[in-house]
Amino acid sequence: MNNDQFGIKEALSELGLKETNSGTSTGSNWLDSKGDILESLSPVDGNLIGKVSSTTPEQYEEVVKTAQEAFKSWRTVPAPKRGEVVRQIGEELRKYKEPLGKLVSFEMGKSYQEGLGEVQEMIDICDFAVGLSRQLHGLTMHSERPNHRMYEQYHPLGVVGIISAFNFPVAVWSWNTMLAWVCGDVCIWKPSEKTPLCGVACQNIINKVFAENDVPEGVSCLVNGDYQIGELISNDTRVPLVSATGSTRMGKKVGAAVGARLGKSLLELGGNNAIIISKDADLDVAITGALFGAVGTCGQRCTSTRRLIIHSSKYDEVKEKLTGAYKQLKIGNPLDVNNHVGPLIDKDAVNMYLSALDQVKEQGGNIIVEGGVLEGEGYESGCYVKPVIAEASNEMQIVQHETFAPILYIMKYDTIDEAIELQNGVAQGLSSAIMTTHMREMEQFLSQAGSDCGIANVNIGTSGAEIGGAFGGEKETGGGRESGSDAWKVYMRRQTNTINYGTELPLAQGIKFDL
Ligand code: UN1
């Protein structure tokens, strides 16, 4: 299919993308394309979309130094004024929603609807951050000493490094950056090497707003490249906070490197998310939730549904309904609204999917909806695969592993205690859900003895979280929280201040020190 009919060329030019782009920027200054070239191939048709140069170690030095310098002035701009700049970014994103949504869809492979949804998440976090810019508050407390006042306040941290993944190539960056900016930090973003054009496009959008507001060079920095540039950021003591989204394997490396220098990290890593379908579930809600959770974004969300834990009395019915729904799925070009499932990101991902299917069979799983790689017209990229359902158990090694592909494992339970144990019986702890109309089951699932995940939903699938809540998870998911609620606190340093406005110097704890 000719992708021009979907307006890709036009979108690229609207976003200021060229055939070859510098991947290193401190704002309006784009550094020369000296580094190795990253080729961005679309998983939609396998063709080259554009090239981006990676950042050399020398260029990285220049970026960090410019960012450090920018921090000195950006931190003194009143937070609501920084919020005003973020408000304008939200306005600009509204203008660019369609071309950016299209680029996200074409470079990453998710549906155009989901691409637009991702840009909407960016707009929403801008709005959230604007309000937040007037609410970066600490507490006051009573001092034990007379004529003393005690309070705490939050100050910006400095340079924040953001390492993001291909699957949400723009939204996750914005969750971090918009908060960090209103908090008074400056940011260095390393997008995934699989979606570098999304990074360049966002920087172009930001640059326009920053120029109009005289924001100093270095507040918004972009670097590109493979894991080596990620290592530079993780090991750099000038970067007090590193926020990394991606696999648990990657997160363990980043966490160890940042921890070794006692820096702060915010990790949002793998999930192995389950939905419990109870005997009292509304099955229409349950099937729709499970279907979107498992095949949406071709199973490439960290919140994708990987396991269904179904009450034995409903098992056959759910299996039948779900199998029927899978047969109706249309797989193809994600820019075509008639399709439900787009491609995987690249051929490596396809190979991981195939290897996972082999392991499912070797380890005793029973495949009930067969997989396979699609071939022929429209599937030339080799990245389109069939979503799979397999009967499996937590004991199988492959079920314990997050395969970033549309493979759904289904299993049975009899008691709610057993269901919760199965739900929690994996190394990851991001998202979870129960489908039930039974109040007691629901409350047990949400109690301290219930789901051990960062997200626990009722009658909603595991994916599609709103930005207003803190986003992240426990165990191998890394423990970090991004976006809403009080996630902003990680981007700031807390300071406790005690002020003596009296004429004596009483010491705390009743200590006397008289000469
Ligand atoms: C991710 O896959 O890293 O909750 C983020 C969701 C989206 C974000 C997913 N709002 O599915």
Q: Is the CB of 166 under 6 A from ligand 1?
A: no
Q: Is the CB of 22 under 6 A from ligand 1?
A: no
Number of domains in the chain: 2
- Helix, strand, coil in percent for the chain, rounding step 5: 40, 20, 40
**DSSP state, residue 377:** T
Q: Is the CB of 102 under 6 A from ligand 1?
A: no
Please report whether residue 386 resides in a domain.
yes
Q: Is the CB of 168 under 6 A from ligand 1?
A: yes
- Whole-angstrom distance, CA of residue 155 vs CA of residue 497: 12
- The closest of 362, 402, 409, 363 to 387, measured between CA atoms, is 409
Q: Is the CB of 301 under 6 A from ligand 1?
A: yes
Q: What is the pLDDT along the chain (515 residues), one digit of tens a residue?
A: 466 778 999 999 999 999 999 999 999 999 988 899 999 999 999 999 999 999 999 999 999 999 999 999 999 999 999 999 999 999 999 999 999 999 999 999 999 999 999 999 999 999 999 999 999 999 999 999 999 999 999 999 999 999 999 999 999 999 999 999 999 999 999 999 999 999 999 999 999 999 999 999 999 999 999 999 999 999 999 999 999 999 999 999 999 999 999 999 999 999 999 999 999 999 999 999 999 999 999 999 999 999 999 999 999 999 999 999 999 999 999 999 999 999 999 999 999 999 999 999 999 999 999 999 999 999 999 999 999 999 999 999 999 999 999 999 999 999 999 999 999 999 999 999 999 999 999 999 999 999 999 999 999 999 999 999 999 999 999 999 999 999 999 999 999 999 999 999 999 899 999 88
Q: Compute, in angstroms, the gap from residue 423 CA to the centroid of ligand 1.
A: 19
Please report whether residue 444 resides in a domain.
yes
434 contact partners, CB below 8 Å, separation of at least 6:
275, 276, 278, 419, 441, 442, 445, 451, 456, 457, 458, 459
User: Contact, 431 vs 454, CB < 8 A?
Assistant: yes
Residue 205 tokens, joined:
């959008």
| 310 and 178 in a common domain | no
| 316 and 404 in a common domain | yes
Per the structure, the complete domain to which residue 228 belongs is given by 3-76+138-268+485-494
| 446 and 367 in a common domain | yes
- Whole-angstrom distance, CA of residue 482 vs CA of residue 462: 17
Give the domain CATH number at 167: 3.40.605.10
First-to-last C-alpha distance (Å) of the chain? 89
**DSSP state, residue 31:** P
| 376 and 230 in a common domain | no
3-state secondary structure of 156: strand
Q: For residue 184, how many other CB atoms are within 10 A of its CB?
A: 24
Q: Cα Rg for the chain, rounded, in angstroms?
A: 24
Catalytic amino acids?
268, 302
Please report whether residue 198 resides in a domain.
yes
> Which DSSP helix (H) or strand (E) runs through 416?
helix 416-424
Please report whether residue 399 resides in a domain.
yes
Please report whether residue 382 resides in a domain.
yes
3-state secondary structure of 128: helix
| 49 and 169 in a common domain | yes
| 29 and 160 in a common domain | yes
| 336 and 246 in a common domain | no
Q: State the amino acid at position 272 in one-letter form.
A: N
Q: Is the CB of 297 under 6 A from ligand 1?
A: no
| 399 and 282 in a common domain | yes
b/e code 250-288 from CB counts within 10 Å (16+ = b) = bbebbbebbeeeebbbbbbbbbbbbbbbbebbeeebbbe
Q: Compute, in angstroms, the gap from residue 465 CA to the centroid of ligand 1.
A: 6
3-state secondary structure of 159: strand
**Triad 22, 300, 278: Cα angle to 5°:** 155
Q: State the amino acid at position 13 in one-letter form.
A: S
b/e code 415-429 from CB counts within 10 Å (16+ = b) = ebeebbebbbbbebb
DSSP string, 445-504: HHSTTS--SSEEEESS-SS---TTSEE--EETT-S--EESTTGGGGGEEEEEEEEE-SSS
Strands 186-190 and 220-222: parallel
Please report whether residue 207 resides in a domain.
yes
Please report whether residue 110 resides in a domain.
no
Please identify, by atom number, the ligand 1 atom nearest to the C-alpha of residue 455: 4
Q: Is the CB of 433 under 6 A from ligand 1?
A: no
Q: Compute, in angstroms, the gap from residue 346 CA to the centroid of ligand 1.
A: 20
| 46 and 157 in a common domain | yes
Placement of tokens 């939730």 in the chain: 289
Q: State the amino acid at position 440 in one-letter form.
A: R
Please report whether residue 332 resides in a domain.
yes
Q: Compute, in angstroms, the gap from residue 471 CA to the centroid of ligand 1.
A: 8
Q: For residue 76, how many other CB atoms are within 10 A of its CB?
A: 9
Q: Compute, in angstroms, the gap from residue 103 CA to the centroid of ligand 1.
A: 18
| 408 and 435 in a common domain | yes
Give the domain CATH number at 336: 3.40.309.10
| 360 and 447 in a common domain | yes
| 200 and 296 in a common domain | no
- Whole-angstrom distance, CA of residue 171 vs CA of residue 471: 12
3-state secondary structure of 274: strand
